[in-house]
């Protein structure tokens, strides 16, 4: 038994934050942001929008694409680190919004790599024969974790959600997943839970916001992702020529180019959305996947390498025949 992606969907908030708008807010420039990151704008969740509402919107699209009724779902796995509450989980709130069936729903917290980790969970449940139809969502509102005047983070992060329906299949779909973590790097990138400090102190405490030593994160990301893509191909006895598309986490165009270079893949085989979206954390890979499925670049039967790196550090890849 294999697990195959039956349908994809995504949601991006309407409101956009452009580089020109950021120039008004902090000491930065459009040229610096484009040259160092490749990002032109990000979508920002508006009033009434959060990880749950965005996740639900992406999920409905994915279910429609898979032509699956919501009541046929067996499990919902949500990759997120930016729910409004510590609990209930974002997954439970999404379950309540989608269905009256008491199917299990839980969150996976692996920051920007969360979607890959969640996809691997779905893959295991389906391969073991436990479940047949699993909804996997990546949804994050990391713009709300960034201090409004911290140019290190606000230029990078946007909000959004992406979703896939993963289904039992006789045909290969998810070929393999490869996951890694290195908790010793926690000081380079993270966000403390605001409630740890109490509401009254929230605004005063810089440590209540996301912190990132970007340059150091960058170096580890490039090195680990290079090892990861090589590991993924070797484990399957494949070479880069066997891949049709690289669908990378959309953190920084220079990181993406370095990974493509390692694979010797031309950039016209790499899906990028970050000029429009910025880094949407756990939503980034499923948004890129859905965009390329909907515009016809990614076709059934093609081989995709999905990869992500982020806070933890946690990083992972999935080799997928779409
Ligand atoms: N605007 C203008 N100038 C800036 C900005 C800014 N927003 N930020 C930094 N600078 C300045 C610095 O002060 C420095 O100036 P100096 O040379 O006078 O000292 C110069 O630009 C270069 O700074 P670096 O930090 O070395 O810039 P770098 O090329 O590394 O780019 C960036 C910074 C874009 C953050 C990059 O390091 C990056 O993308 N890192 C990885 C981020 C990432 O992948 N995060 C993981 C996922 S996130 C998650 O999991 C939640």
Active site residue: 43, 112, 146, 178, which one? 112
Whether 192 is a known active-site residue: answer: no
Catalytic annotation, pick one of 50, 146, 249, 252: 249
Instruction: Tell me what ipTM this predicted complex has.
Output: 0.93
CB of 252 closer than 6 angstroms to any ligand 1 atom: yes
The residue whose CA has the least distance to atom 47 of ligand 1 is 310
Query: What does the pLDDT read at residue 210?
Result: 92
For residue 197, the model assigns a pLDDT of 52
Q: What is the pLDDT of residue 203?
A: 55
Number of domains, the chain? 1
Assign 271 to helix, strand or coil: coil
pLDDT at 205: 52
- Does the Cβ of 157 fall within 6 Å of ligand 1? no
Contacts of 193 (CB under 8 A, 6+ apart): 86
Q: Which band of pLDDT confidence, cut at 50, 70 and 90, is reported for residue 27?
A: very high
User: What is the spatial distance between Cα 39 and Cα 125, in angstroms, rounded to a whole number?
Assistant: 36
Measured from the Cα of 217, ligand 1's closest atom is 41
pLDDT of residue 304 exceeding 90: yes
Q: What is the mean pLDDT of residues 278-302?
A: 98
| Helical residues (DSSP H) of 140-299, grouped into ranges | 151-154, 214-235, 253-263, 274-277, 284-294
Asked if 280 contacts 287 with a C-beta cutoff of 8 angstroms, the reply is yes
| Protein residue with least CA distance to atom 28, ligand 1 | 215
Q: Is 279 a catalytic residue?
A: yes
Which 3 state secondary structure label does DSSP give 54? helix
Query: What was the pLDDT predicted at 208?
Result: 73
pLDDT score, position 217: 97
Is 280 close to ligand 1, i.e. is its CB under 6 Å away? Answer: no
pLDDT tens per residue, range 238-254: 999 999 999 999 999 99
Q: Is the pLDDT of residue 182 over 80?
A: yes
DSSP states along 29-75: -HHHHHHHH---EEE---TT--HHHHHHHHHHHHHHHHT--GGG--E
Whether 36 is in the pocket of ligand 1, judged by its Cβ within 6 Å, is yes
CATH assignment of the domain containing 163? 3.40.47.10
Element (H, E) at 11: strand 2-11
Residue-level pLDDT at 311: 97
Q: Taking all residues of the chain, what is their mean pLDDT, rounded to a whole number?
A: 95
Full residue range of the structural domain in which residue 60 is found = 1-322
pLDDT tens digits, 123-145: 999 999 999 999 999 999 999 99
Could you read off the pLDDT of 44-81 as tens digits, one per residue? 999 999 999 999 999 999 999 999 999 999 999 999 99
Does the C-beta of 163 come closer than 6 Å to ligand 1?
Answer: no
Closest residue to atom 3 of ligand 1, CA basis: 28
Which of helix, strand or coil describes residue 178?
strand
249 a catalytic residue: yes
For residue range 266-275, list pLDDT tens digits in order.
Answer: 999 999 999 9
Distance 6 CA to ligand 1 centre (A): 38
Instruction: Tell the residue nearest (CA) to atom 21 of ligand 1.
Output: 32
pLDDT at 193: 73
Q: Is 284 in the pocket of ligand 1 (CB under 6 A)?
A: no
pLDDT at 84 over 60: yes
Distance 60 CA to ligand 1 centre (A): 36
Q: Is the pLDDT of residue 29 over 90?
A: yes
The arithmetic mean of pLDDT across residues 147-156, rounded, is 94
First to last CA, the chain: 16
Pocket test for ligand 1, best of 215, 279, 310 (most atoms within 8 A of CB): 215
pLDDT of residue 292: 98
SS3 282: helix
Q: Is the pLDDT of residue 194 over 80?
A: no
Kindly state the average pLDDT of the residues 177-188: 97
Q: Which residues pair with 112 in a beta bridge?
A: none
pLDDT at 201 over 90: no
Burial of 140 (0-12, 13-18, 19+ CB in 10 A): buried
Range scoring the smallest mean pLDDT among 134-148, 187-201, 276-290, 294-308: 187-201
Nearest CA to ligand 1 atom 32: 214
Kindly tell me if the per-residue pLDDT of 258 is higher than 90: yes
For residue 31, report the distance from its CA to the centre of ligand 1, in Å. 13
Q: In what order do the strands lie in the sheet with 303-310?
A: 174-181, 314-321, 303-310, 245-248
The reply to whether ligand 1 has any atom less than 6 angstroms from the CB of 7 is no
Length of the chain: 322
- Is the CB–ligand 1 distance for residue 82 below 6 Å? no
């Amino acid at each position: 038994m294999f697990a195959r992606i039956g349908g994809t969907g995504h949601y991006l908030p309407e409101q956009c934050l452009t580089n020109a708008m950021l120039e008004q807010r902090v000491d930065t420039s459009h040229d610096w942001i484009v040259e160092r990151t490749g990002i032109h704008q990000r979508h920002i969740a508006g009033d009434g929008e959060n990880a749950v509402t965005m996740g639900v919107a992406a999920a409905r699209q994915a279910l429609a694409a898979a032509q699956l009724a919501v009541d046929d779902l067996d499990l919902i796995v949500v990759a997120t680190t930016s729910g409004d509450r510590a609990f209930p989980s974002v997954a439970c709130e999404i379950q309540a919004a989608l269905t009256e069936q008491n199917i299990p729903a839980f969150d996976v917290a692996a920051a920007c790599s969360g979607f890959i980790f969640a996809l691997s969970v779905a893959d295991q449940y389906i391969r073991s024969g436990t479940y047949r139809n699993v909804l996997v969502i990546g949804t994050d509102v990391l713009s709300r974790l960034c201090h409004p005047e911290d140019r290190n983070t606000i230029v990078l992060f946007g909000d959004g959600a992406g979703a896939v329906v993963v289904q039992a299949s006789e045909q290969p779909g998810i070929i393999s997943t490869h996951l890694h973590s290195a908790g010793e790097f926690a000081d380079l990138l993270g966000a403390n839970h605001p409630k740890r400090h109490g509401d009254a102190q929230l605004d005063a405490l810089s440590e209540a916001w996301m912190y990132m030593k970007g340059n150091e994160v960058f170096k580890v990301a490039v090195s680990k992702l290079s090892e990861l893509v090589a590991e993924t191909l070797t484990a399957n006895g494949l070479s880069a020529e066997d891949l049709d598309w690289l669908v990378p986490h959309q953190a920084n165009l220079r990181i993406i180019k370095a990974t493509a270079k390692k694979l010797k893949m031309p950039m016209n085989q790499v899906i990028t959305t970050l000029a429009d979206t910025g880094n949407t954390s756990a939503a980034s890979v499923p948004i890129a996947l859905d965009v390329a499925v909907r515009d016809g670049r990614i076709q059934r039967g093609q081989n995709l390498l999905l990869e992500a790196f982020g806070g933890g550090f946690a990083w992972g890849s999935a080799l997928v025949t779409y």
